[in-house]
Amino acid sequence: MVINDVISAMSRALDDRYPDIPIHGEEIKQNLDPPSFFIKLFPVNHTRKLGRRYMRQHTFDVHYFPQGFDADDQVAENEEMHGVAESLYDRLEYIECNGLIRGTKMRHEIINGVLHFFVDYNIHLMRDKKDGPVMQVMVQEGHVK
């Protein structure tokens, strides 16, 4: 499983709930047409646990840009973004990526008229076992009297 698989699984989960809203990744385009989602990956932490076992921690910030910002109707706009956040808690708790992956440390906040939804996906990995001889060749001799 690679990082792109997790991003694709998140995109599918968002697209299932919001099929009419475009989903962007990696960089925000200058001419972004709201409403739209943007998936930002924070630095990934890859830690060796025991033997061939590893833990990989992915932290994401899902931005939601609402249709239009109106300073006079900011309360209604915040209500819309909180509604989107509620659906993201449900949609991104479990995503399908070669099996189910559970999202943790979910939280959201609204900054400058943009919803930021944070979620972590921690994945246990097992490296392939290297093929090779288990032990060297042993020569045994025996004599009978």
82-109 pLDDT tens trace: 999 999 999 999 999 888 899 999 999 9
Integer Cα distance of 22 and 14 in angstroms: 9
Characterize the bridge pairing of strands 100-111 and 114-126.
antiparallel
- pTM of the shown model: 0.78
Instruction: Please state the domain extents for the chain.
Output: 3-126
Query: Could you tell me the pLDDT band of residue 11, with boundaries at 50, 70 and 90?
Result: very high
Three-state DSSP class for residue 82: helix
> 38-64 pLDDT, tens per residue?
899 888 888 888 888 888 899 999 999
| The architecture CATH gives domain 3-126 | 2-Layer Sandwich (3.30)
The reported pLDDT for the residue numbered 63 is: 92
Contact 68, 51 (CB under 8 A): no
